[in-house]
Amino acid sequence: MKIAIDGPAASGKGTIAKGLARHFKLPHLDTGLLYRAVGLSMMGRLLAPNLADLAEKEAANLDISQLDETVLGRADVALAAAKVARIPRVRAALRQLQVDFAAQEGGAILDGRDIGSRICPDADVKLFITASPEIRAKRRYAQLTRMGQKADEAQILEQIIARDESDRTNPAGAFYICDDAHLLDTSELDIEGALNAAIAIVNGTVSDGLNA
Ligand code: C5P
């Protein structure tokens, strides 16, 4: 079973994807980490005139066994990721490894922005996870303070709105809700509620007894 999950920053798609992976015993790839890793490797060089060449090279040499989620989770890395994600050659260089991951025997779950539209248009189930920008900022703020990091909720909200805009208008890979995607708004749901809703959607869509 192949599950494609898309949605804006901090919508809960990563948590839902991890929960679905556990529930259905499927391998999971957070594709945002790929763009974040390329963004991180380009920090300090984001204004280079040959940014596209350099970032393409970093993307082509990316080792997905070396992704450190703690560093990659930083807000400045997210902004660098959104910048390199606008480069078509970077998206092309990262495409094959996502397609290969999705093609594993037994299936896979991928989450990102263009999974349902471009990476796995043939997915058995497509989910589009969303929540209001204010709720997403609150969640990200709570997450950062839980991790002992200093955070400013108003600034997080500003960054989320800016990244939504950059991602939605990305000429290389704008994200949108596919016609065949199930929309799940998690604004009013806690983690358990959101995961249960996602499981119900998957079970309702793929009705051949895959529920673990
Ligand atoms: O999902 P996450 O917030 O980790 O993604 C970081 C950034 O990487 C996004 O803001 C977006 O610019 C980019 N991205 C993308 N396509 C994906 C996954 C992430 O363009 N499939």
CATH code of the domain in which 187 resides: 3.40.50.300
Question: How far is the centre of ligand 1, averaged over its atoms, from the C-alpha of 81 (Å)?
Answer: 7
Region of 4 on the Ramachandran plot (φ > 0 left; ψ -120 to 50 alpha; else beta) = beta
- The CA-CA-CA angle for residues 185, 176, 26, to 5°, reads 65
Per the domain annotation, does 91 fall within a domain? yes
Per the domain annotation, does 212 fall within a domain? no
Q: Is the CB of 39 under 6 A from ligand 1?
A: no
Provide the pLDDT for residue 68: 92
Domain that holds residue 50: 2-200
Check whether 209 has a pLDDT greater than 70: no
- On average, the pLDDT of the chain sits at 94
Helix (H) or strand (E) holding 140: helix 133-146
Provide the pLDDT for residue 150: 86
Per the domain annotation, does 41 fall within a domain? yes
Least confident of 136-150, 155-169, 174-188: 136-150
For 131-166, letters b (16+ CB in 10 Å) and e give: bebebbbbbbbeebeeeeeebeeeebbebbbebbeb
Q: Is the CB of 126 under 6 A from ligand 1?
A: no
Per the domain annotation, does 209 fall within a domain? no
Per the domain annotation, does 208 fall within a domain? no
- Average pLDDT for residues 161-188, to the nearest whole number? 93
Asked if 40 and 62 touch (Cβ cutoff 8 Å), the reply is no
Provide the pLDDT for residue 173: 82
Tokens 């204004």 -> residue = 47
For residue 167, the ligand 1 atom closest to its alpha carbon is 12
Helix (H) or strand (E) holding 111: strand 108-112
Least confident of 20-24, 59-63, 126-130, 143-147: 143-147
Provide the pLDDT for residue 212: 42
- The structure's pTM equals 0.93
Number of domains within the chain: 1
